[in-house]
Amino acid sequence: MTQPASNPTPRVKIDFVSDVVCPWCAVGLKSLEQAIARIGDEVEVELHFQPFELNPQMAPEGESIDEHLAHKYGLSPQQLAQNRDALRQRGAAVGFEFNARDRIYNTFDAHRLLHWAATEGAAQEHALKNALLKAYFTDSQDVSAHDILARAAAEAGLDEARARAVLASEEYADDVREQERFYQSQGIRAVPSVIINDRHLIQGGQPVEQFEAALRQIAGLPASGQA
């Protein structure tokens, strides 16, 4: 007698639209990673990183971060300090370390490098994304500098010489700009924006539980703790 076929593992595609100098993107990614880990092999997850530049017109040398934030958002020194404390606490809760940073940088080359990493494989792209977030937020490094970017690529298991060649050229520049235009045309104005299966949008550095609940619902799985 033929046995009925078992239900296939549901598949979920996630596009994580973000910038590598966006602190809530770091929090959101760590939360999302933990949500995916909680679900385990109940869902097959396909994770892609998509480019978004918070400051596409920023000069190569960057800007003082406090001056930049005060000008862009009208924040007082006290508000800036409160925001930093809140970020440190949220980061610690998901295992990410925020340290003091003096400057904010142009990130176009970082996005070009991430686009190249994606051609090498999803795992390499993911590893590079984490390496870049750590370089900027934890190690306070200049993520517009080619030496820093190339070392991050090596840390992620990518070919450092090839990374330097990409950075020295204009490779993937058109691809990155095309992706940026696409997500802007879809109404993405803030990051992180987490798009699931091209139709469900979650914005901001949400808690692990919210990402897990959303993934379970979209994949048709029971809520956490239910049979």
pLDDT digits (tens, 9 = 90+) for 148-179: 999 999 999 999 999 999 999 999 999 999 99
Reported as a pLDDT band with limits 50, 70 and 90, residue 7 is: low
**Which is more confident, 3 or 50?**
50
Residue type for position 6: S
Residue 59 has pLDDT above 60, yes or no: yes
- pLDDT value at position 61? 84
Q: How far apart are CA 83 and CA 73, in angstroms?
A: 12
CB atoms within 10 A of CB 123: 12
Q: What percent of the chain has pLDDT over 70?
A: 96
Q: Which of 8, 56, 16 is nearest to 35 (CA)?
A: 16
- pLDDT value at position 4? 46
**Which is more confident, 5 or 22?**
22
Average model confidence (pLDDT) across the chain: 95
Reported as a pLDDT band with limits 50, 70 and 90, residue 29 is: very high
Residue 5 has pLDDT above 80, yes or no: no
Residue 209 has pLDDT above 60, yes or no: yes
Residue 110 has pLDDT above 70, yes or no: yes
- pLDDT value at position 36? 98
Mean pLDDT in residue range 106-135: 98
Residue 226 has pLDDT above 70, yes or no: no
CB atoms within 10 A of CB 198: 9
Q: How far apart are CA 211 and CA 191, in angstroms?
A: 15
pTM of the entire predicted model: 0.94
- pLDDT value at position 192? 98
Q: How far apart are CA 130 and CA 140, in angstroms?
A: 14
Q: How far apart are CA 50 and CA 193, in angstroms?
A: 10
Residue 227 has pLDDT above 80, yes or no: no
- pLDDT value at position 6? 60
Q: Which two tokens stand for residue 139?
A: 């190690």
Q: Which of 121, 130, 133 is nearest to 159 (CA)?
A: 121
Reported as a pLDDT band with limits 50, 70 and 90, residue 8 is: confident
Query: pLDDT by residue (tens digit) across 82-94?
Result: 999 999 999 999 9
Mean pLDDT in residue range 180-190: 97
